[in-house]
Amino acid sequence: MTQKSAKVVVVSQHYPPDPSTTAAIMASISRRVAQEADVLVLSGTAGSAAAASADKPDVVEVRNWMPGKAALLKRALAELLFTARTFIALLMKLRRGDVTLTVPAPFMLPYAFAAAAKLKGAKSVLIMHDLYPDVLIMAGLLKPHSLLAKAIHALNAPMFRALDAIVIIGRDTEKLLLRYGGVSRDRIRFIPNWTTLARGVRAIDPDNPYRRSLSGRFVVGLSGNLGFTHDPVIVFEAARRLQGDKDIHFLLSGWGVGFDQLKAMQAEAGLVNVTLVDRVEDDQLETFLSAADAWIIPYRRNVAGVSVPSRFYNLLAIGRPVILVSEPDAEAALTVTEHDVGWVVEPGNADELAKAISGAANSVDPQRAERATEVSKRFDFAAAMAGYCELIRELAQKESIEARKMHG
């Protein structure tokens, strides 16, 4: 940062001790940028201020109510209240010359964020983890031509114009952003997320505690948050079609509404080739991911440009092929096909998924595992942090030049 009085303000509803991926990403960015500039975090997570130690950024908690994800009306009200409180906090904390960053969670936050930054003369960066209303349409929560979808599209245009930079984590998002008038390529920055596990092929170990009791020679896994954008039904239906194949076993873990759905389906069907495991803690994640021969990431239709699976990076890092349910032009699908590190399956087609899993079980390729770990080098923590720091420096310098011209 060029001005000692200027600071970086990071806004995130989720921040440690929240265990979510978003919390970990925003904390990593905040701590790295804090090595170069004063950083203030506005957090919506209770206990985050107390958890921050002296060598981490200052954290100020914005009061937040977090109802369950299935309680849609309560959740919408809570997110509206959080957005309003954050807007007030930004007006109080931001100063001209500051640089501020956020993510679209809740989806109403970027509108208040961009407005506050513009009012206070601060530079603003939106890290585009999800694109709304597209992600809500993909999840089936909104109709494409509904009044609410049209309203969100209309609000997006001035919000995107007000932002100084938009960080995308998938190449496929750019074309969707460019649909909005006033969004130019020079304000879009591609900074993918990163692996959190060390790169290197993990051998298949029959004594792995998550694999030991499974009968199948080939284990296909599912892990992570199964939200509204994911399709757990296609995975279960593929397992149903393959229950006669004694060589293949499904190891399914996670949390969210989709995992609740899986538990309900298994309680009714009792498939012998399916094992359910509750959420695996971070200290066991590497062991768990190493237990399967291949991993499924199941998206609903229209994922391209809308969402990028963060779990994808760690699967590549440990040398596991990925069976991705997605359109072929989505970011993860492009990576899979360009480097032959897995298979891409049409959304909603359980027969095709079952066929891909069967094919994967009969074509184990050690070179595919090696390629996966090599590809994972593209998703590097240090490179991502350098990208964020460079962007913040550029915006701070731009503000400094603009300020000199103003007072010329």
pLDDT per residue as tens digits for the range 317-333: 999 999 999 999 999 99
Question: How far, in Å, CA of 107 to CA of 335, rounded?
Answer: 27
Please give the pLDDT value at position 228: 85
Question: What confidence score (pLDDT) does residue 288 get?
Answer: 97
Which token pair is 376?
């994972």
What b/e sequence results for 191-207 when a residue is b if at least 16 CB atoms lie within 10 Å of its CB, and e otherwise?
A: bbbbbbbebeebebeee
Burial class (CB in 10 A: 0-12, 13-18, 19+), 213: exposed
pTM of the model as a whole: 0.89
Which domains, ranges and CATH numbers included, belong to the chain? 8-194+380-406 (3.40.50.2000), 218-378 (3.40.50.2000)
DSSP conformation letters of 270-284: --TTEEEEEPPPGGG
Residue 266: count of CB within 10 angstroms of its CB: 17
Give me the pLDDT at residue 65, please: 85
Count Cα neighbours of 339 within 13 Å in the Cβ-side half-sphere.
23
> In angstroms, rounded to a whole number, what is the distance separating the alpha carbons of residues 386 and 245?
48
pLDDT of residue 3: 44
Tell me the helices (H) and strands (E) count for the chain, helix number first.
15, 13
Name residues whose C-beta falls within 8 Å of residue 323's C-beta, 6 or more positions apart in sequence. Answer: 220, 294, 295, 296, 297, 342, 343, 345, 353, 356, 357, 360
The whole-number pLDDT of residue 305 equals 86
| Cα angle: 385, vertex 389, 391; to 5 degrees | 115
**Is the torsion defined by CA of 278, 284, 289, 291 positive or negative?**
negative
What was the pLDDT predicted at 403? 60
Grouping H, G, I as helix, E, B as strand and the rest as coil, residue 402 is: helix
Give residue 308's pLDDT. Answer: 81
Task: Write out residues in the chain with pLDDT < 70, as ranges.
Answer: 1-5, 53-55, 68-71, 399-408
Closest CA to 223 of 176, 290, 135, 126: 290
Q: Is 182 helix (H, G, I), strand (E, B) or coil?
A: coil
Per-residue pLDDT tens digits for 339-378: 999 999 999 999 999 999 999 999 888 899 999 999 999 9
Q: What is the pLDDT of residue 182?
A: 85
Q: Which two tokens stand for residue 382?
A: 């240090």
For residue 182, the one-letter residue type is G
